[in-house]
Structure formats: C-alpha cells, structure tokens
Amino acid sequence: MNTTNMKNIFLNGILSLAIGLGFVACNDDDTYISTAPIITEVTTDGATVTSTTATITGTVKELSSMLPSRYEVGVKYATSEAALPAGGTKVTGSLGEDGSTVTAEISGLQPERQYFYCIYVTLQGKVSQYGEVKPLLTTDRTIATMPAASVTRTTSQLGGSFNNLDHLLAAGAEHGIYISSSPDLADAHRIIVNGSENSYSTTVSGLIPNATYHYASFIDMNGNDELGDVQSFTTLIGSGDVECDDYVDMGTRYEWARFNLGAESETQPGGLYGYGDLTGLLTSTSVSSYASEDISGTLLDPAVKANAGFTPSAADWAELVKACTISEEVRDGVKGMLFTSDINGNTLFFPYAGARTASGVIDSGDAGYYWTGNIAEKSKPEYSASMRLALSSADNTISHRTNGLSIRPVRRRLVKGMLACNNDKINFGHLEDNTDKFRIEIYNEYGSTKNDPPVNTNMIDFSQRIAVTFSLDGVELKSGAPSVYRATLGYASDGWATNIWTNEAGNEKCNALVSGNGTYTVYGTVSSQANGAMVFAIDIEGLATNVKDVTAVKARILSILQDAELPVNNFDYDGDKVTFGPSDNKNVNARVAVFSQYGDYPEEVAKFKDVPVVKGSTIGVEFTITGIDGNLKAGAAGSYSAGIGYSAVGWWPSAWGPFGHVGDATVTGDGTYTVIHSVEDNGTGLTDLAADIKGLYKDLVDPSKVKVTIRYAGVLGNPVLED
C-alpha cells in the first residue's frame, strides 16, 4: 500500500468536508476527487419518549457512497441547551437502509425532565456536523407540555410531546401550542406546528418584554383539541432604564428605540399590537377590548409594560419628522424608511411591517403603520392617532383601535445618578392596617421587598438629595372624601446613619400633593453621605381609606434621581418688592405678594413670563412673618389658615387658597410657614404668586408693623416631564 497516497486521501477527505468539497473512495487506493459536497444536509427530527428513554431520528445526506468505517452518526444530548453541540453526551446511532435516516436510542434518562438533543455526523473521526438543537421531555403522559426554552425579550421556544398517538400524527392531526396571557388560556392563540414527530417545538416571536405568558401543547382528537399541562414563562425585561445601544439620540426631546417593540434588531418587524394591548396576543375585533384613552407613559402602554420606554405621542412623532430627512431604503432585504437626523446625523430604520386588520396583515413590505399614544378626536371614538410610513413620506393618520400596528418606543434621556427600578417588584397599597396611608414601597429591610428588591441598594449613593417621581392610576375617591393628599418621602441609609422623613415640619416643599391619577415628585436632602437602604418608601397620607377600591390603585416609579439637578424654578424675585397688605377691599384677609400683575411692582412679572407650569408639579412659598405677636386686637382668632395663590398667563391654570387641604399652613403668630399646591394643568408663564392668610388683616392692630421675608418661592416639576 502506498502510505503517502493514503495520507493524501485522508487529508483531502477532511479538507473537502470543511470547504464543501468531497471524495468518493471505491477502495483504499482510489484517489478520485469529486467536487460534490460530502454532507449536503444534517437535520434533527423528532423524539419518541418514555419516562426514561428517547428514540431520536434525523437525516444525514449524503453518506450512501461512503464506507461505514469512515463515518459515525448518532445523537448528542444534554440538560442544558447551551451545552450543545460542543458538549453533551454522545450516543452512537445507525444509518437506515435508505442511506440517510439516522436512529439513536438514549436510555437511563431522568423522568419528567427536559433534555436537549441534536443529530451529528463525524467523518474520519475528525470533523463533525450537527443538526438543529431541539428539546424533549421524558414522560409517559399521553400529551405533555415542554418547559419553555431559549426565552429572550421577544421570543421563546415552546413545544410538546406525545405518547401512543402515532396514528393521529400519521393521519395529519393538527397539533401545536396554545398561548395566552391568562392562566386559564382564555382567548389563547392556537399555533399549529407542522410535522408528524412525537416531540416537537416552535419559536414564538413578537412577544412583549417583561410579560408573563401561559401555554400548553395540544392535538386535535376527533375535532376537539386535547391539551397537555399548562405552563408559563416570563420574557426578559426591556432595556429602557439602562445605558445601552438600543436607543438613539436623534436630537429630539426623547431618545428613540433602535428597533420596534417585539423585535431585537432594526430589520425585524416586531409585534403588531392592538391599541393598549399589553400581551401582544390580543386580536379581538371588539373595540371595547382595547384602551379608550391616551396611553403614552401610562399603565396601559405596552412599551411601559415592557420596560422599553413608552409609546411616543403624536407630538413626539411630529418632532421626529421635523428633525429628520426621510427616504426609503432596503436593509438586509427588508424594505423600510430611513430617518436621518438633520441635527446630529444619527439614523433610525423603520421596517414596513404592515398592519393587522380583521382580514389579515396588509401592506407588509409596502408600508409601516405605527401607533402614537393618543386617541383620535372625539368624533372618531373607535380610532387612535397613528403614523403611516410609505413612499418616502411620513403621514399622520388614524387607525381603528382593534388593528394591530407596530410600536417604536421612546425613552427619556438617562440622567447621571438615575437609579433603575423594576416596577414589577415594588409593593404598594394599604400595607399597614393601623394607618390610613397608601404606601409605595421601594425597599424595606423588614418588608416583602427585601428578598427580591426592585432596586439594587448597592447603587444607592448620594450626598445632597434624592428625588422620586411616581405615577398613580385607578384613583377613584369616595363621595365626600378630601380632594388632596400629601405624599412624603421616607428613607434611611444602611445602619440608619442618614435619614429623610419629609413628613416632619420644615420639609413641606419637598412633598407632593396628590389629587388623583397623575405624575408627582417628592424629594429629600441630606447633609452627609447616604449609602444603601434600610427603608425607602413614599407614603400618601389618608389616601388608602378614602378611595373606593384601594386594590384598583396602581403605582409606578418613573425615575429615581441621586444628586441630580432637580427641575426647580427658584423664582428670581426682588425681596425688597415683596408686599404685605389686604387681599380684598374689605381689609379682612392678608396677602403676602411675591409678585403680581396688579401689585405695586408689575414690572416684576416680566421675569416670570416664560416659567414652565407643569401639571402635577408643586408650587410653593415659604415665608417668615413677624409683627403679629403683641399686635392682635382683643378677641382676635389667633389662628389663621394660609394657602398659596397663583395665576398663569391667561388666568389658567389658576388657584387661590386657602384650600382646606394639607398644602395649607396655620399661622399662629410670628414664625416661618410653608404653603404648597399641586398645579392643575399645563401652562406657560406666571403673572401672580402669593400666600393668602384668611382673616388675619382685620385682626391686626397695626398692619404696618408686620414684616415678611420670603425664604423660598418656586415650582418643583416632574423630572420625567422636563429634559
């Protein structure tokens, strides 16, 4: 035998497998070289299982022309999908008479356990190729559901297993997966899986991040679907609150997600969601099944649910269109629209995913339809505002709320010192039966959040201030209940070394006044370094016992800022021009006027014509007053209610206290007092700001003796509303 010639044959055989060439050996000395690939196909097929064994089948082509001594076929298996194909346990199989069907028998498996497997072929003992990795479940049950595998933010591999149902599978019985957001599989999607294997799986895509799904295997038996056991999984959380490359600065107010909700690359279509669908599965044609109000940034927003930011409003879309040059483009074979920022040159690609209607998906590859977070005008109650991207044009339109459209989330720019918070883990409600407080518990060393905290307490690290912005939804007050409630911040660092309790006197301007559903900010200051947490919570005093259903009230933490500049407008007023006098022509009530369009110094108002007035922000005045003590008439009340008064340009929003709520103060003599109020609506510019003291002026012997100093006057806005 020519050993040199044999060596060449051996090396050529290995090389030809690696580069797609092949050889056919008629005998050991034959050196004929073929240009056809040796292995054209390796597939992993099904598994027939018992509680301890599995019979695996697959296909390897083309081995019919090779000597059995030159190849090995079989299956590799492991309990971890990641272990294959590099690792795992190898079981040698056999090649069928057809020269392509591989069969391998695995024994000694653990009952009711998930395994992963793949077919392999090895040539010359050196080079191997593998089929797809698939799951199986060892069981004797007739119909079994496999545990979810390969779960990502938007996809999951789901499957099932059958025993003794070969006759149904051979007859083409439909089988697959039911998947729903409900544990009882109500309104489930029925996904058919092709094939006749006893063990099967499929990848479900377009799911919403951070969502829990329930599913079961099924097979059609005589026209009725028989289901296996119901299992569940939760998709991975989105990246809306972390530094990452998933968001793009387009020079607009908000950063835009690089890809659609339900996608994990810019060319994937993602999901087509009904308006306010929090599951990605809702296909009802009844408009009552969908949100009927603005959803952007609310608990009805699918992007909020996914922790991917929030659905942009119509105004956000208009800002993006105005800031960009748009053109059609094909990327990786996917047609869509390219937005190029005229401000910084950054780009976004929007695939043309079409839209889902009652009759199916339309315009896929020809147009993209994207939800805004706003409902349409009142004359179109079944519609919401949307965008149509097609033919190098981005147009405002409206879409029926039952239709399935794409969502491209936006997020607020991350602020240095922002602490990430997982809202699925916060605890809120009437947590203490002996109080009337509605508590939002972010962390409590002695509470339910200790073992699975919403925040990483090791990342709590500040030396000046911490501010928390939160939202409430589902607030419905009882008849006759107070309209306003004080929200306070409580915090204690590790070892109780540094504390913040804004319910204590002197911290009034740090609190928020809750008047219903909305967004609010509370903050606290420290004089020394704060690290970690023993307690971190927001208390809304009196709310828990004054709502009709406290379990219907939902809370979310929108931002936690550490040592960041708060959006506080500390008004640049002239202290020498602050006046004290009567607020009415009857000289009954007293007014401390910081500035007024009708006062002695109307020119002061010009300083405040552009001050942003934000709904839910807290406007406040802290003042020190002297000259009351020893200056009251005989029989004077001696105690006087004080409240803030303000007006924005155009007299809206506008409010004049005292209001009889927790933002008022009670003036009992010389001292320092704070009055605050929650702004009723959005506006621009202030024309008046004052503190009114009911009944004081008429009780003064000599009003000229009263002196007032303003210690603080300003508006604390919501960080999530201002950039």
The contacts of residue 474 (CB under 8 Å, 6+ apart) are: 517, 549, 552, 553, 554
Residue 64 has pLDDT above 90, yes or no: no
Query: Are the beta carbons of 357 and 350 closer than 8 angstroms?
Result: no
Residue 373 has pLDDT above 70, yes or no: yes
Distance CA 464, CA 498 (A): 11
Residue 238 has pLDDT above 50, yes or no: yes
Quote the pLDDT of residue 36: 47
- Count CB-CB contacts under 10 A for residue 582: 16
Quote the pLDDT of residue 8: 39
Q: Of 663, 667, 664, 656, which Cα lies nearest the Cα of 695?
A: 667
- Count CB-CB contacts under 10 A for residue 170: 9
Residue 507 has pLDDT above 90, yes or no: no
Shared fold status for 39-137 and 143-234: yes
For the segment 108-163, what is each residue's pLDDT rounded down to a tens digit? 999 988 899 999 999 988 889 999 998 888 888 899 999 999 998 889 999 999 98
Residue 390 has pLDDT above 60, yes or no: yes
CATH class belonging to 39-137: mainly beta
Distance CA 372, CA 395 (A): 12
CATH class belonging to 143-234: mainly beta
Q: Of 645, 630, 662, which Cα lies nearest the Cα of 589?
A: 645
Residue 34 has pLDDT above 80, yes or no: no
Residue 33 has pLDDT above 80, yes or no: no
Residue 191 has pLDDT above 90, yes or no: yes
Distance CA 665, CA 675 (A): 6
Strands 94-95 and 41-49: unpaired
Tokens 């009340």 sit on residue: 637
What count of residues does the chain have? 723
Query: Are the beta carbons of 160 and 175 closer than 8 angstroms?
Result: yes
Which has more confidence, 565 or 645?
645
Quote the pLDDT of residue 449: 94
Name the amino acid, one letter, at 548.
K
> How far are the Cα atoms of 234, 432, 611, 673, 712 from residue 506, in angstroms, in the given order?
45, 25, 25, 8, 12
* Residues 205/211/214/216 CA torsion (nearest 10 deg): 20
% of residues, the chain, pLDDT over 70: 91
Residue 536 has pLDDT above 50, yes or no: yes
Q: Of 590, 256, 615, 538, which Cα lies nearest the Cα of 409?
A: 256
The average pLDDT across 44-66 equals 88
What are the boundaries of each domain within the chain? 39-137, 143-234, 247-411, 427-566, 569-716
Q: Cβ-count burial of 433 within 10 angstroms (0-12 exposed, 13-18 middle, 19+ buried)?
A: exposed
Residue 308 has pLDDT above 80, yes or no: yes
Residue 199 has pLDDT above 90, yes or no: no
Q: Of 625, 598, 624, 601, which Cα lies nearest the Cα of 703?
A: 625
Mean model confidence pLDDT for the chain: 86
Q: In this structure, is the dihedral angle defined by the CA atoms of residues 164, 168, 170 and 172, taken in order, positive or negative?
A: negative
For the segment 329-349, what is each residue's pLDDT rounded down to a tens digit? 999 999 999 999 999 999 999
- Both tokens of 664, joined, read 């008022």
Residue 322 has pLDDT above 60, yes or no: yes
Residue 572 has pLDDT above 80, yes or no: no
Quote the pLDDT of residue 492: 95
The average pLDDT across 249-258 equals 91
Quote the pLDDT of residue 23: 37
Quote the pLDDT of residue 106: 96
Name the amino acid, one letter, at 130.
Y
SS3 sequence, 305-357? Answer: HCCCCECCCHHHHHHHHHHEEEEEEEECCEEEEEEEECCCCCEEEEECCEEEE
Q: Of 517, 608, 561, 558, which Cα lies nearest the Cα of 721?
A: 558
Quote the pLDDT of residue 415: 61
Distance CA 345, CA 330 (A): 19
The average pLDDT across 265-275 equals 94
Quote the pLDDT of residue 661: 79
Least confident segment among 318-327, 349-358, 411-420: 411-420
Query: Are the beta carbons of 31 and 2 closer than 8 angstroms?
Result: no
pLDDT confidence band for 500 (50 / 70 / 90): very high
Quote the pLDDT of residue 101: 94
For the segment 439-454, what is each residue's pLDDT rounded down to a tens digit? 999 999 999 999 989 9
707-716 sheet: strands from edge to edge: 568-570, 707-716, 618-626, 671-678
Residue 723 has pLDDT above 50, yes or no: no
What is the pTM (predicted TM-score) of this model?
0.55
% of residues, the chain, pLDDT over 90: 53
Least confident segment among 353-367, 558-572, 589-603: 558-572
Quote the pLDDT of residue 243: 53
What H or E segment, with its residue span, contains residue 18? helix 3-19
Quote the pLDDT of residue 475: 94
Residue 714 has pLDDT above 50, yes or no: yes
Residue 90 has pLDDT above 80, yes or no: yes
- The Cα angle at residue 172 between residues 170 and 178, in degrees rounded to 5: 120
Instruction: List b or e across 322-350, with b for residues whose CB sees 16 or more CB atoms inside 10 angstroms.
Output: ebbebeeeeeeebbbbbbbbeeeeebbbb
- Phi and psi at 458, nearest 5°, equal -70, -15
Residue 35 has pLDDT above 70, yes or no: no
Distance CA 273, CA 261 (A): 9
Cis status of the peptide bond prior to 409, with omega within 30 of 0: no
Residue 546 has pLDDT above 80, yes or no: yes
CATH architecture designation of domain 569-716 = Sandwich (2.60)
Question: For residue 678, what is the DSSP state?
Answer: E
- Phi and psi at 612, nearest 5°, equal -70, 135
Instruction: List b or e across 356-393, with b for residues whose CB sees 16 or more CB atoms inside 10 angstroms.
Output: bbeeeeeebeebbbbbbbbbbeeeeebbbbbbbbbeee
- Both tokens of 407, joined, read 């969502």
The contacts of residue 146 (CB under 8 Å, 6+ apart) are: 114, 135, 136, 137, 158, 159, 160, 161, 199, 201, 217, 231
Residue 99 has pLDDT above 60, yes or no: yes
Residue 576 has pLDDT above 80, yes or no: no
Query: Are the beta carbons of 355 and 403 closer than 8 angstroms?
Result: yes
Quote the pLDDT of residue 577: 80
Q: What is the DSSP annotation of 74-121?
A: EEEEESSGGGTTTSSEEEE-EE-TTSSEEEEEE-SPPTT-EEEEEEEE
SS3 sequence, 635-659? Answer: CCCCCEEEEEEEEEHHHCCEEECCC
